[in-house]
Chains A and B, each alone.
Chain A
Amino acid sequence: MDHLELIKLANAAAQGKRPYFFSQPDVDRLLSILLAVTQELAVTRERLDTVERVLERRELFERQEIDSFRPDADAARERGQWHIEYLARVLRVLQQEVETMQRSAGDVSSEDVARELAAG
């Protein structure tokens, strides 16, 4: 069994109809995904905490240093840029919506173009 097959087996649905609680089942779906992401964030946070504690145990640094850490000007700018890039990536859909609204002619749908191309 390869990794994908293994994780799919772990993911298997239990026998018995799954309940959906919200008036729109899409909300149930999104919540499931969000909760799984929340879990993985907690896992990453715990892993980072482990790294910090291991480094501290080896006397490579003190955890206190993290809270008192103040980036110098260059580092602060790099980090700021990372935040902006990150947000741009996450909020892509809003940007695209604005771009489309701004196109003076408006966008045609691929379906319409398909019909047009088929016709001649």
Chain B
Amino acid sequence: MQTDTPKVDCAPAWTEAGTHAMSPLATHDEIARFNFLANLNKYMANVVVGGNKVAYDSRAKQAFRNTHGHEPQGRREIRAAMSVDPYYQMWSALRRNAMEMRQQAGRSMVLRQAEPLRDRARSLNAGAKNLQLHPNTPVPRYQSAIDNHCMPGSYYAEYLADDVSAAANYDAGMFATTTGLFGRYLDGAGRGIVEWLARRRPGWQPARILDLGCGVGHNTVPIAKAFPQSRVVAVDLAAPMLRYGHARARGMDIENIEFRQANVESLADADSAYDLIVSTMFFHETSSRALRNVLQEAARLLAPGGLHLHLEQTPYHAMEPFEQFLRDWDCYYNNEPFWTTVHDTQMLDVMRQCGFAADALFEDEIHAVVDLQMPKVGAEVEDFGRGGMWYAFGAERAA
């Protein structure tokens, strides 16, 4: 064996992920399954995905021209051309399987310890005023029609009373899916927001902060930490996510986040109740109507002098059709049914229609701030739509 062979770019081991009070116990082989999946994702992103463009340029484009008399125009025709190409079929099938296997790996680890995890959450959540559950909150059609990103039972399944297994699975698998690009605590977006705010408004202390669709609070936590004097309200529809998120935050000694179960299309707070309103990777899981409802509600809730900041994946407008086509994969094959529409939407136009016309609107790009020392060798490669970089949009209200 040669010892000076150059190192290959690999995913960080699952054991590099940060642990907290709600971390499930993992056996050797459960960890190894995640390690396999993370590296499968890495290999797919670094090596396999590139072949799609080669297949397109070298044969799929021509095959399409032969039957249609012209080259594919736009991402829909590119998709028609590629969906019959064997390379794209193989890439798609591998990617879909990687998603399904990630769910299986997480669930088989978490479900066997659903009870002890639930008990741990119960004791961390006991008597907490900062956990506000409203079990009768209806789950809207855009969340219930199909299971988000192939997650069986989505965020909502409860197999026992006070179940947190859906959230534990979501949390445990994400490090493998994102190959560490979101950081050890999957908080790269939240840290990115904190850094961005420090540049945009140095020294600003927003007293009241709202996080829309907080999940388990991966990105709420760094914001709450950065503003320890502030009161943070983190809202989500899913009780398992909130139970787990609250227990996780508590285990980190964070006491300034209220986790609240509600639909953010309509909140009970008074007008101008918040100084900073954020969301991370939230809007792509809604619908055209819900997007507008939420923005209208957010406009109502923002105080004078306040700021809005929302992070999503890069929109399609300024993007080559072939890249649009690749990014659109998740919409069709990874149960992200609003993905295409949200990326085609001109967010600032919608904001103007939703009550922000008088405010200073902005767009920007925010990169994940990651605490992980990645075994980085080659250039960082993004797995289309899964990388540590976001499109940011928002508004500043005059004081």
Contacts and interface: CB of A to CB of B under 8 A. Distances in A.
Interface in A25-65: 27-28, 31-32, 35-36, 38-39, 42-43, 46-47, 50
A9 B111 contact: yes
Given A10-B107, A15-B147, A21 B335 contact: no
B112 interface: yes
Interface string B93-109: 11011101101100110
B166 to A, nearest CB: 12
A12 B153 contact: yes
A113 B152 CA distance: 47
A7 interface: yes
Contacts of B36: 38-39, 42-43, 46
A43 B86 CA distance: 29
Contacts of B93: 21-22, 27-28, 31
Majority secondary structure, B binding face: helix
B1 A67 contact: yes
Interface string A5-22: 011011111111011011
Contacts of B146: 14-16
A16 B108 contact: no
Contacts of B88: 21
B92 A39 contact: no
A interface, how many residues as a size bin?
20 to 34
Contact of A43 (B32, B147, B154): B32
Contacts of B29: 43, 47
Contacts of A16: 145-147, 150, 335
B335 A6 contact: no
B333 interface: yes
B111 A11 contact: no
Interface string B132-157: 00000000000001110011111000
A46 B15 CA distance: 13
Given A6-B112, A7-B108, A12-B107, A19 B96 contact: yes
Interface in B347-384: none
Given A14-B152, A22-B93, A47 B32 contact: yes
Nearest to B149: A14
A39 B101 contact: yes
A13 B152 contact: yes
Given A10-B111, A50-B28, A19 B92 contact: yes
Contacts of B286: none
B335 A39 contact: no
A11 B32 CA distance: 18
A33 to B, nearest CB: 10
Contacts of A35: 94, 97-98, 101
Nearest to B96: A19
B32 A10 contact: no
Contact of B333 (A15, A19, A31, A43): A19
B309 interface: no
A14 B107 contact: no
B11 interface: no
Contacts of A14: 100, 103, 146-147, 150-152, 154, 335
A43 B111 CA distance: 20
Nearest to A46: B32
A11 B101 CA distance: 9
Contacts of A28: 93
Nearest to A49: B32
Query: What 10 A-B pairs come out closest when comparing CB atoms?
Result: A16-B146, A10-B108, A14-B147, A12-B152, A10-B107, A46-B32, A42-B36, A43-B32, A21-B89, A14-B150
23 contacts: A7-B108, A11-B104, A11-B108, A14-B151, A14-B152, A14-B154, A15-B145, A15-B146, A15-B152, A19-B96, A19-B332, A21-B93, A32-B100, A35-B94, A36-B101, A38-B36, A42-B32, A43-B33, A46-B28, A46-B32, A46-B36, A47-B28, A67-B1
Interface of A: 6-7, 9-16, 18-19, 21-22, 27-28, 31-32, 35-36, 38-39, 42-43, 46-47, 50, 67
Given A12-B107, A22-B93, 7 more contacts: A7-B108, A14-B150, A16-B146, A16-B150, A21-B90, A42-B36, A43-B33
